[in-house]
Amino acid sequence: MAEKPKVAFYWCASCGGCDETVVDLAEAVLDVVAAVDIVFWPVAMDFKRKDVEAMPDDAILATFVNGAIRTTEQEEMAHLLRRKSKLLLAFGSCSHLGGIPGLANLFDRESILQAVYCESPSTVNEEGVLPSVRHNDNGHSVELPGFYETVRTLGQVVDVDFYIPGCPPTARILRTALQTLLGGELPPKGTVLAPDYALCEECPRKDSKPVNLSISQFKRPQEVLIDEEKCLLTQGLLCMGPATRGGCEAPCVQGNMPCTGCCGPTSRVRDQGGKILSSLASLLESKEEGEIDQALATIPDPAGSFYRYGLPSSLLRRRKLPDSNLEPPKVR
């Protein structure tokens, strides 16, 4: 019997939801297991890094990496898995675009460490001890991975063959992607394995979106009783649908919540946040500066809303660091 193709899964800066998606394949996961050999999957199976290191280069057919790159260890693993795999796939928003962890790019490393290890209400750390790469105690020394100032996407660290979008990718997106990969002819390198149209195209409320849509102010979901049939934008909700790739079949909208943009932009848009900003602002009714500002004030956090999943892959990539941070040392 011919050897089955080898597949690996790995996680970096992520929540584990993407691994959950693999399990969400339900019965189909049995077909996957029957078709391939899973040789590395830290969340579910007991293989170690040294097992991967022992493999010959290109031994793995496809590795699915979820999570953004924040630490030196994640970067090393990305390089290692790239070397051992014929195909490397960025799996889910964090490795595709930076994801929720990418919002850390609105801050710098020092303020993140301060917030987490000193200032958070539940923390007791009177001596202000912060993690460091090396620590010596009574002749014993321990090491931790270094923590980067800036969160990066997988594609900004290593060469990536394909991207699977979503936070997490829906089972349908994953299933279709797997069929594409196992089906023989591969799409061009760098393809996002999902349809290339905006979410509005497949939105169940599409027909209720008027041709000339205008908005006087934006409302947050908790501030309004949401009509379950009408286009969410016409109700003043900040829906990322117009600037977000479809393929997920709009589960959020079906759950009566606006799209938050996890699938990223379509191939014709470079910067998802810039595009939704353009779209939403032009829908406003007012022509007078003061009124415009008042209406826009109902979007309390533009950067966090428009780049919720994509700050590291945006044109600016992060908040500008103070000039003093631009000098070394870079890694704590």
Partner 1 sequence: MPDAMPNSSHAVPPRVEPQTFEPRIVAFFCNWCTYLAADLAGTSRMKYSPNVRVVRVMCSGRVDPQFVLDAFAHGADGVLIGGCHPGDCHYQEGNYKALRRYRLLKRMLRQMGIEEDRIRLEWISASEAERFRWVMNDMVEHVRVLGPLRLQPDEEVFAEEEVAV
Choosing from 36, 280, 309, 313, the residue that interacts with partner 1 (CB under 8 A) is: 280
Question: Is 321 among the residues that bind partner 1 (CB under 8 A)?
Answer: yes
If binding is defined by CB under 8 A, does position 144 make contact with partner 1? no
- Tell me the CA end-to-end span of the chain in Å, nearest whole number: 50
Contact between 219 and partner 1 (CB under 8 A)?
A: no
Least distance to partner 1 from the beta carbon of 298, Å?
11
- Out of 30, 54, 133, 224, which residue is the one contacting partner 1 (CB under 8 A)? 133
What long-range pairs does 229-232 form, CB within 8 A, spacing at least 24? 229/205, 230/205, 231/203, 231/205, 231/206, 232/205, 232/258, 232/259
Q: Kindly report whether the peptide bond that precedes residue 329 is cis, defined as omega within 30 degrees of 0.
A: yes
Q: Which is nearer to partner 1, 122 or 136 (CB)?
A: 136
With the CA atoms of 308, 314, 318 and 319 taken in that order, what torsion angle do they form, in degrees rounded to the nearest 10? -80
| DSSP helix/strand/coil, 56 | coil
Nearer to partner 1, 144 or 226 (CB): 144
* Smallest separation (angstroms) from partner 1 to the CB of 275: 6
Residue 273 engages partner 1 in binding (rule: CB under 8 A): yes
Say whether residue 150 binds partner 1 (CB under 8 A).
yes
Query: Does the protein bind partner 1 through residue 320 (CB under 8 A)?
Result: yes
* 19 near partner 1, judged by CB under 8 A: no
# binding residues, partner 1 (CB under 8 A): 46
Figure out which of the listed residues 206, 260, 296, 298 binds partner 1, where binding follows CB under 8 A.
296
Which x/- pattern over 100-129 shows residues binding partner 1 (rule: CB under 8 A)? ------x-----------------------
> Residue holding tokens 């999570």?
67
- The C-alpha torsion from 96 through 302 and 71 to 163, rounded to 10°, is 0
Nearest Cα to Cα of residue 148 among 139, 136, 157, 137? 157
Helix (H, G, I), strand (E, B) or coil at 145: coil
Residue 158 Cβ, how far from partner 1 at the closest point, in Å? 12
Among 72, 190, 209, 309, binds partner 1 (CB under 8 A): 72
Closest approach of partner 1 to the CB of residue 309, in Å: 16
3-state secondary structure of 144: coil
Query: What gap in Å lies between CA 195 and CA 302, rounded to an integer?
Result: 27
Structure tokens at 229: 């049939």
| Alpha-carbon span 256 to 235, nearest angstrom | 12
Write out the residues near partner 1 by the rule CB under 8 A.
Answer: 72, 106, 133, 146, 148-150, 152, 269-271, 273-275, 277-278, 280-282, 284, 286-287, 289, 292-293, 296, 299, 301-304, 306, 314-321, 323, 326, 328-331
